[in-house]
């Protein structure tokens, strides 16, 4: 799957670009390194000049402040904030795009000058400039989450080469090399902990601020901060494939994927703006044919108000900013949406389908019970471990965790019996290790009690005699029960479990978690068929949560695919629409809540902008509104919408 790369420095400019495709030059935020005072200086200068001009007009203190002197004064006040807008409007026209906010503001304010309303012309442009300053400040604040992630990306690694640890660029470190991380430093690449124990701050990866204790042999992720003692790590991934780099790619690319609401508003603004322009032209000239006391100046003034109010910046800025804030808030909570479209889609989900192993369970098998017949437990396990050393199955790994003292036995002539188990020789004895089907095919009687065992069972026979069994079970994740409850509390009407594990285990787990319906023993294509059947129901929107390679087809076909980012396979993560970095299924409920909060704020902004603009447009057409009301309907509403969108960055979603 190819990803469109989006550079960080492009994120803000893309939101400010018009459909004509060139970047807005009217950026009051200023380049990096420029002081805030210098950024705000044009607006401050214009404001001071405007206040002085209005005061002189009001008190009539200087008789000479008339004619060309007055015009020159207000022109000087206008140029610092007006010239960049006029220039941008002209650049837009050269690119074939006439109906931009820059063009509207230029025509409206120059028109105000043309009819002698100099203070109002300056005021409109000044407030527009101030609005732009607030907009850029809000966008920069929203981008702060991604910049924080960039800061978390390590820029050097201490790697063991030729017997010494040397500092190198992390991009040059290869898989399998040994790196050292000192106290307070960031782990530069994903790897396996070689030291006995490590205390790590994984907030940049998981969104969880509490320290995480990692033991020898466990995974550690790039971007985590070492809190206690020098640790050694063996790298398991290249820098470009590390967790922190993957997060950055996902979050940066997410801003390029627009939601349906955002795309609709942009298309709507490009239709609605020219309509208002032509209505303004009609408002200027048509009354001439119907009114006896027609005054061109009055109707032109009303038309200029119309133009100011019609400026769509409140919509085209605050709505993308709302989604941007939602994406940033989710990433802070360890949830990565690959685009605003998925942030919106998750709000419509009413059915959650989930895998079992690695999703609600830890995906780590452990021995639950050892039952020996005619053998001591330790002797039984020695035979069993000798055979399982030849297998890479997760159950074999669980059995090999058993600690047996004494000389290890060795198995020879081990062959795999497809779907049933292993056959081999240990200490000159013929040994069978596997399921009940393997025992039955070799005419070996097993105790009837084994029929009632729900967990995975590994049976052992020596020289055609049954000698015992071991039960193996996966453990539920700590938040599994909490996850199901919170998903229901979020309003999800149906929760389903589909698993490749045997049906008895799947049913047992689903009952413990109070899941509506479950089915086990499924191949990947079976899971796909089940989800496709669900999707055929017109009122069903399906989110699938899984972690393995076998879940990738279902993740792709679901309305929203959610993958576990820690334990999950790279294929599942690439295919999914949402990544839960902490591997906590309870984060799904939080993802839904963040999506709903974002949608709520976006629609509040849409309602606010359209409502106020429509009201003032009507007042303006009737001659009941001045330029000051027009300024509020445009810049004031834009500022209110921006402040509303910024709320997302302060919200807490306690689940």
Distance of CA 402 to the CA centre of its chain: 41
Contact 68, 58 (CB under 8 A): no
CA–CA gap between residue 498 and residue 510 (Å, rounded): 10
- Of 190, 212, 232, 355, the catalytic one is 355
Contact 327, 254 (CB under 8 A): yes
CA–CA gap between residue 555 and residue 531 (Å, rounded): 10
Tokens of 429: 């004895």
Active site residue 570: no
Strand residues in 162-275 grouped as ranges (E): 164-168, 178-181, 191-193, 197-201, 212-215, 219-220, 225-226, 231-235
Give 86-118 as a 3 state SS string.
HHHHHHHHHCCCCCCHHHHHHHHHHHHHHCCCH
Candidates 315, 336, 323, 308; CA nearest to 251 is 336
Q: Where are the alpha helices (DSSP H) in 7-117?
A: 10-16, 36-59, 67-94, 101-114
Candidates 217, 219, 235; CA nearest to 177 is 235
Helix (H) or strand (E) holding 157: strand 157-161
Buried b (16+ CB within 10 A) or exposed e, 170-199: beebeeebbbbbeeebbbbbbbbbbbeebe
Contact 321, 638 (CB under 8 A): no
Active site members: 355
């Amino acid at each position: 799957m190819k990803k469109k790369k989006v550079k960080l420095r492009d994120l803000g400019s893309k939101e400010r670009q018009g459909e004509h495709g060139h970047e807005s030059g009217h950026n009051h935020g200023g380049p990096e390194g420029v002081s805030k005072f210098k950024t705000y200086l044009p607006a401050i200068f214009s404001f001071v000049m405007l206040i002085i001009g209005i005061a002189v007009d009001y008190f009539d203190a200087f008789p000479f402040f008339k004619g060309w002197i007055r015009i020159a004064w207000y022109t000087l006040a206008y140029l610092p904030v007006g010239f960049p807008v006029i220039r941008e409007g002209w650049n837009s026209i050269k690119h074939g795009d006439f109906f931009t906010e820059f063009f509207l503001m230029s025509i409206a304010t120059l028109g105000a000058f043309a009819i002698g309303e100099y203070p109002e012309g300056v005021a409109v442009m000044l407030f527009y400039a101030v609005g732009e300053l607030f907009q850029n400040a809000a966008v920069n604040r929203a981008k702060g989450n991604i910049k924080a992630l960039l800061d978390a990306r390590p820029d050097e690694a201490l790697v063991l080469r030729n017997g010494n640890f040397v500092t190198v660029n992390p991009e040059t470190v290869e898989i399998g090399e040994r790196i050292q991380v000192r106290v307070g430093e960031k782990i530069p690449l994903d790897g396996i902990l070689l030291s006995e124990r490590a205390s790590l701050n994984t907030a940049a990866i998981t969104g969880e601020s509490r320290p995480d204790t990692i033991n020898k042999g466990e995974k550690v992720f790039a971007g985590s901060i070492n809190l206690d003692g020098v640790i050694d790590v063996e790298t398991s991934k290249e820098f470009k494939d590390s967790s922190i780099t993957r997060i950055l790619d996902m979050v940066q690319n997410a801003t390029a994927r627009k939601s349906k609401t955002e795309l609709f508003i942009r298309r709507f603004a490009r239709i609605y703006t020219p309509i208002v322009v032509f209505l303004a032209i009609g408002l200027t000239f048509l009354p001439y044919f119907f009114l006896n006391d027609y005054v061109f100046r009055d109707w032109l003034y009303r038309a200029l108000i119309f133009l100011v109010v019609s400026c769509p910046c409140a919509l085209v800025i605050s709505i993308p900013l709302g989604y941007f804030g939602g994406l940033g808030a989710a990433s802070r909570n360890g949830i990565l949406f690959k685009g605003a479209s998925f942030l919106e889609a998750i709000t419509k989900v009413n059915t959650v389908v989930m895998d079992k192993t690695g999703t609600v369970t830890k995906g780590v098998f452990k021995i639950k019970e050892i039952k020996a017949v005619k053998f001591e437990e330790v002797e039984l396990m020695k035979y069993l471990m000798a055979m399982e050393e030849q297998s890479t199955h997760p159950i074999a790994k669980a059995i090999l965790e058993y600690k047996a003292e004494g000389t290890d036995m060795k198995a020879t002539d081990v062959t795999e019996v497809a779907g049933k188990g292993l056959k081999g020789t240990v200490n000159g004895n013929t040994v069978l290790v596997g399921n009940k089907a393997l025992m039955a095919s070799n005419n070996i009687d097993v105790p009837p009690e084994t029929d009632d065992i729900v967990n995975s069972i590994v049976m052992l026979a020596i020289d055609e005699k049954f000698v015992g069994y071991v039960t193996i079970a996966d453990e539920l994740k700590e938040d599994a029960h909490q996850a199901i409850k919170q998903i229901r509390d979020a309003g999800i009407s149906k929760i389903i479990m589909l698993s490749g594990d045997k049906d008895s285990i799947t049913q047992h787990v689903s009952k413990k978690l109070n899941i509506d319906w479950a089915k086990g023993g499924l191949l990947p294509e079976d899971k796909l068929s089940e989800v496709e059947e669900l999707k055929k129901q017109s009122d069903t929107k399906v989110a699938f949560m899984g972690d393995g390679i076998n879940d990738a087809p279902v993740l792709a076909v679901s309305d929203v695919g959610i993958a576990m980012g820690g334990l999950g396979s790279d294929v599942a993560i690439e295919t999914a629409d949402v990544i839960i970095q902490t591997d906590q299924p309870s984060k799904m409920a939080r993802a839904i809540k963040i999506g709903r909060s974002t949608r709520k704020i976006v629609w509040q902004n849409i309602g606010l902008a359209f409502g106020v603009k429509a009201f003032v447009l009507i007042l303006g057409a009737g001659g009941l509104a001045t330029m000051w009301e027009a300024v509020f309907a445009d810049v004031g509403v834009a500022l209110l919408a921006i402040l509303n969108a910024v709320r997302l960055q302060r919200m807490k979603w306690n689940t």
